[in-house]
Amino acid sequence: MGKVAVVTDSNSGITQAQGTELGIFVLPMPFMIDEEQFFEDVNLTQEQFYEKLEAGANVVTSQPSPEAVMNLWKEILTDYDEIVHIPMSSGLSGSCQSAMMLSEEFDGRVQVVNNQRISVTQKQSCMDALMLAGQGRNAAEIREILENDKFNSSIYIMLDTLFYLKKGGRITPAAAAIGTLLKLKPVLQIQGEKLDAFAKARTTGQGKALMVNAIRTDMENRFGGAAPDNIYLQVAYTKNRENALHFCEELKKEFPGFDVEPDPLSLSVS
């Protein structure tokens, strides 16, 4: 039985400390902020990131360099037989495709998972990979299992501002201006590889209700019923942990028996 390592990037929301504790290797995502390079959770904390963002800094996301990826893999393969590499969704970044090309240099010892995950769903894939490795599955088997499961997830996202969608070119300035004028709080969804519009809310309460109803519909129609023994229900947040904790309590009332705890959203997605 080969020894299999699990590798991901910080878009999973797994911190360097958590990765060490769990036995997961985490590639920090790079940022250029006002022409200076930073790496998530290495020399850039959540607090520092939001301070810079609110101060109007020019923030540009990137993907790990080929050298950083390959050097990490080579180091890991001195102690492990194989690697399962779980990057963010190929529909949201080129880092998955880059990793797949780089893996060709490793004679099958590195298996790159393209299962369209990000944030808490990507983190869950890493936990699943660890479990499967512990059961004696090899890297290729783990990749196949995770990819076969790729459409069994949903993400719903409520935004407080349209500013960054406009800045990133995902909506037009005119649409952003109208949305801001009407004080709309868009709810977005990720099912599969793409980020899409889902609904528009006028208030935070309405946005939460939309998400709760969407979650319940998915549970009942796609995931075999709203039962905690076959579904993970998770929350990610930007900056305001207190609000996230309140929402977790609301979700626990809506979905009794589920253990819901908030994780900070990874900075690239934020």
Tell me the three state secondary structure of residue 56.
coil
pLDDT of residue 197: 79
Q: In whole angstroms, what is the distance from residue 116 CA to residue 153 CA?
A: 9
What's the confidence (pLDDT) of residue 170?
57
- pLDDT value for 262: 93
DSSP type of residue 160: S
Strands (E), the chain: 4-9, 24-27, 30-33, 36-39, 59-61, 82-86, 110-112, 155-158, 185-191, 194-201, 235-237, 262-264
Give me the pLDDT at residue 160, please.
80
pLDDT at 237: 95
Which residues lie closer than 8 Å to 230 by C-beta, 6 or more apart?
Answer: 223, 224
Q: Which two tokens stand for residue 241?
A: 């942990």
The reported pLDDT for the residue numbered 150 is 86
Q: How far is CA 6 from CA 2, 126, 149, 219, 230, in A?
A: 13, 7, 17, 28, 23
Whole-structure pTM value:
0.89
Q: What is the distance between the alpha carbons of residues 180 and 265, in angstroms, rounded to a whole number?
A: 23
- Look at the block and give the residue holding tokens 């519909």: 217
> How far, in Å, CA of 105 to CA of 50, rounded?
38
pLDDT digits (tens, 9 = 90+) for 166-222: 666 655 554 545 455 456 788 888 887 777 878 888 888 999 999 999 999 999 999
- Strand-strand pairing, 262-264 and 235-237: parallel
Chain position carrying tokens 């709203």: 226
Residue among 227, 248, 226 at smallest CA distance from 236: 248
Alpha-carbon torsion (256, 261, 265, 266), positive or negative: negative
pLDDT for position 10: 94
Residues of the chain with pLDDT under 70: 1, 90-93, 162, 164-183
What pLDDT score does 155 carry? Answer: 93
Which pLDDT does position 168 carry in this prediction? 63
The strand pairing partners of 112, in sequence order, are: 85
Return the pLDDT at 24. Answer: 97
